[in-house]
Structure formats: structure tokens, C-alpha cells
Amino acid sequence: MTRILARWAITAAAIAFAAWLFDGIWFRGPTHGTAELQHKIIPLLIVAALATVVTAWVKPVLTVLSIPLILLTLGIFLLILNALMLKFVAWLSGLVDLGFHVNGFWTAVWGSVVISIVTWILDALVGPDE
């Protein structure tokens, strides 16, 4: 259970870092509430949960279906797949009005690269599964 919470926090931190780094990735936040922190943290945690579910369920299916393209491009198509997953998470969050936005394909590509790198670094700091 602790490992799941750690992965969720790592994903949230990676998404927050990408949103801070790129102007094309942002949280609009709800228009009501008492604190600015609450306007960003709650949607961020929900988006991180959505991203975790999409990564666990949708991405493996798409990866298997796109094996020929992955082999043909020597793995570069995985960058495109990651960008599409980030755009998909933004679209899903729009359906439930979380206010998470990703503008443009290239922003999604670079955002997914940053999210992958930050996740990898933070996961290495947390340590292996027990």
C-alpha cells in the first residue's frame, strides 16, 4: 500500500514539474474554493491517478498493437505513444472538469519526456519494491 501511495505521489510530482516547466501544460483549477493550494493539489492528485490508470491499462494495449511501428522507428514511436497518453489524460480530465490542459502535440511530447525522466529519478530515490 505504501508503494502505491509513493508511485501516486511521484506521478503527481512529475506532472506538477512538467506543468511548471511548460506553458502549454497547466491546471486551470476550479473557480470556487478557499485556498489556491486546494485549487491545484486536488486536481493534480486526481490527474495523477488518471495517468496511473491510463499507464497501467491503456498504454500496454497500445504498445502491443504498435509493435511494428516501434520496431520500424527503432523505439522512437514510444515517444509519440507517451505524448498521446498525456493528451488522453488531459482529455479525460476535461470530461470531469479537472482543469488539466495540454496544448499541442509537441508540448505533449516534451511534457511526456520530462514526466518520464522525473518519474524515473524519483522512483530511483524511493528505492526498489519490497
Identify the band that residue 4 occupies on the pLDDT scale cut at 50, 70 and 90.
Answer: confident
**CB 10 within 8 Å of CB 123:** yes
| Cβ pair 43, 29 in contact under 8 A | yes
Count of Cβ atoms closer than 10 Å to residue 51 Cβ: 26
Ordered alpha helix ranges (H), 1-130 = 2-21, 36-65, 67-72, 77-95, 105-126
Residue 38: pLDDT band with limits 50, 70, 90: low
Rounded to two decimals, the pTM is: 0.87
Q: Average pLDDT of the chain? A: 89
